[in-house]
Chain A
Amino acid sequence: MGKEIFYFLVFPGLIFSGVIGGILSWIDRKITARVQFRQGPPFFQPLYDFVKLLAKETIIPSRGSATTFVLAPVFALFGASISAVFILLPILGVETGFAGDLIVIIYLLNIPSLTFIIGALASGNPLAAVGASREMKLILSYEVPFLLVLISIIIKAGMTINLAEIIEYQAANGAFIGSLSGIIGFITIIMCIQAKLGLVPFDMAEGEGEICDGVIIESSGSILAMFKLTKYIMLFILPALITGLFMSGLSFVGINILWSILKIFAVLLLITLIRNTNPRVRIKQAMKFFWVWMNLFAIISIILAIFGL
């Protein structure tokens, strides 16, 4: 029991992935600033933002459901931390997990998005409702190609749905990104991650210009701080999941530390550059993009995987 609580609160869970995610969000902002020929924020900026938000007043909107509004960020943080545990334990090679943990991860990764929607609808703000409806449509769009890519990976790894076994298979037979179906699947999953993280070009759920931060418009103080921490954790665990699925995982032994950091940085750099070189698309365009093109890519990846390419 004590080991599980330690896993959840300290090592791969809340504190560890929160700190690493904060550092990654700083890197993301710094790269954005350098792309725009600016200097960018100081290193401790995520910490300053987080502590400042904790110290501020938390306002509960008078219209709307107070209990749901307060509990939504708690469940978002819970979902992000527990999925961090399930993803990072096999990827870091601490524990092997169990048969079928990939399916549990798929479900757990949806909890933050769903609680964002519930919190937005509980705030009673019309703009938040618009943001929630967009987020809902976005989930419907990116979930199908995400699952199809996972199916292609499962076929390539010899019909196993255990994350640790997928990583072992890659360690024995070479990383999946080296094959044709792996590259196509990687492109698809990067786009799905972009939408899951709510970054440009798929940030219409919290478009600052049009619906004023959308789903988190009414959140203030500690509630906003918890949403920010959730986003930090997601910014770490989703690239980590990609490295596990396509680049044979991470490792903290010897020179492998350098490789692990480089893998995470490469995925993060890709995400940040996509976010900086694209405009925001409309929700209709995003749905068309995922349902037509990304599904097509994912199905091609599955067919190639069946033929062993």
Chain B
Amino acid sequence: MGFKENCFKKSLWVFHLSAGSCNNCDIEILDLLTPRYDVERFGMKLVGSVRHADVLLVTGIVTKKTLPRVLEVYEQAPKPIVVIAVGACPCTGGIFASGYNFAGPLDKVIPVDAYIPGCPPKPEAMLAGVVKLLNKK
């Protein structure tokens, strides 16, 4: 493992993209920043612009309306970028899988590196998912 990869793993800047979520997973993601979980001790932080991001955190089903936006945000991100699908909706579609405006699970749209299922997933589950992804690489 080189020094550059080590630096990448130690400083993940997260851009949070809500593709069409019910806001439940988004609030659980914000829980990770609270003193109880404190992801800053691993060097992770939320950034406001996708140009600064290393991780694209997608919540919610990809609807027909948000599909071009998700693609555009993914193209705007500087590579290498890690895509994580948080919640049941971007992983499979969840309870909205047979909806009229469902445009397919996230991995049909952009390549996904990690899936964190749950409705919503617990903050511990999200941390465990990120740790597994970083150990795999």
Taking Cβ atoms with an 8 Å cutoff, the residues of A that contact B are 29, 33, 36-42, 44-45, 47-49, 51-52, 55-59, 208-209, 212-213, 216-221, 224
Q: Contact at A220–B54, with CB atoms within 8 Å?
A: no
CB-CB under 8 A for A29 and B8, given A213-B47, A218-B51, A220-B78:
no
Closest residue of chain B to A61, judged by CB? Answer: B51
Q: Contact at A213–B8, with CB atoms within 8 Å?
A: no
Q: Contact at A52–B38, with CB atoms within 8 Å?
A: no
Q: Contact at A38–B7, with CB atoms within 8 Å?
A: no
Closest residue of chain B to A46, judged by CB? Answer: B11
Quick one: which of B96-117 are within 8 Å of A by CB? Answer: none
- Minimum distance in angstroms from A7 CB to a CB of chain B: 29
Query: What is the 8 Å Cβ interface bit string for chain B, positions 38-64, against chain A (1 contact, 0 not)?
Result: 101101000111011010000000000
Q: Is B4 an interface residue (CB 8 A)?
A: yes
Q: Contact at A40–B47, with CB atoms within 8 Å?
A: no
A-B contact sample (19 more), CB < 8 A, given A55-B4, A55-B7, A217-B51: A29-B40, A33-B40, A36-B35, A37-B35, A38-B40, A39-B40, A39-B41, A41-B40, A42-B41, A45-B43, A48-B43, A52-B4, A52-B8, A55-B8, A57-B79, A209-B48, A217-B48, A218-B49, A221-B78
29 A–B pairs (Cβ distance < 8 Å), ordered by A: A29-B40, A38-B40, A38-B41, A39-B38, A39-B40, A39-B41, A40-B40, A41-B40, A41-B43, A42-B41, A42-B43, A44-B10, A45-B11, A48-B11, A48-B43, A51-B4, A52-B11, A55-B4, A56-B54, A56-B78, A56-B79, A57-B79, A57-B80, A213-B48, A213-B49, A213-B52, A216-B49, A217-B48, A221-B78
A98 CA to B117 CA, complexed, in Å: 66
Select A33's contact among B11, B38, B76, beta carbons within 8 Å: B38
Q: Return chain B residues, CB-CB under 8 Å to A39.
A: 38, 40-41
CB-CB under 8 A for A208 and B48, given A45-B10, A45-B43, A55-B7:
yes
Q: Return chain B residues, CB-CB under 8 Å to A208.
A: 47-48
Q: Contact at B38–A38, with CB atoms within 8 Å?
A: yes
A212 CA to B52 CA, complexed, in Å: 11
Q: From A38, A39, A42, A213, name the one whose CB has the most chain B CB atoms within 10 angstroms.
A: A38
Q: Return chain A residues, CB-CB under 8 Å to B47.
A: 208, 213
Select B10's contact among A36, A42, A219, A220, beta carbons within 8 Å: A42
Size class of the contact patch on chain B = 20 to 34
- Minimum distance in angstroms from A72 CB to a CB of chain B: 15
Select B35's contact among A38, A45, A221, beta carbons within 8 Å: A38
Taking Cβ atoms with an 8 Å cutoff, the residues of B that contact A are 3-4, 6-8, 10-11, 35, 38, 40-41, 43, 47-49, 51-52, 54, 76, 78-80
Select A57's contact among B10, B40, B78, beta carbons within 8 Å: B78
A224 CA to B41 CA, complexed, in Å: 22
Select A48's contact among B7, B49, B52, beta carbons within 8 Å: B7
Q: Return chain B residues, CB-CB under 8 Å to A37.
A: 35
The number of residue pairs between A and B whose CB atoms lie closer than 8 Å in the complex comes to 81
Q: Return chain A residues, CB-CB under 8 Å to B51.
A: 59, 217-220, 224
- Minimum distance in angstroms from B10 CB to a CB of chain A: 4
Q: Return chain A residues, CB-CB under 8 Å to B79.
A: 56-57
- Minimum distance in angstroms from B134 CB to a CB of chain A: 13
Closest residue of chain B to A212, judged by CB? Answer: B48
CB-CB under 8 A for A224 and B52, given A40-B41, A42-B41, A58-B78:
yes
CB-CB under 8 A for A49 and B52, given A36-B35, A39-B38, A55-B7:
no
Q: Contact at B4–A49, with CB atoms within 8 Å?
A: no
Q: Return chain B residues, CB-CB under 8 Å to A47.
A: 7
A62 CA to B7 CA, complexed, in Å: 29
A121 CA to B63 CA, complexed, in Å: 34
- Minimum distance in angstroms from B102 CB to a CB of chain A: 29
- Minimum distance in angstroms from B17 CB to a CB of chain A: 13
A45 CA to B4 CA, complexed, in Å: 13
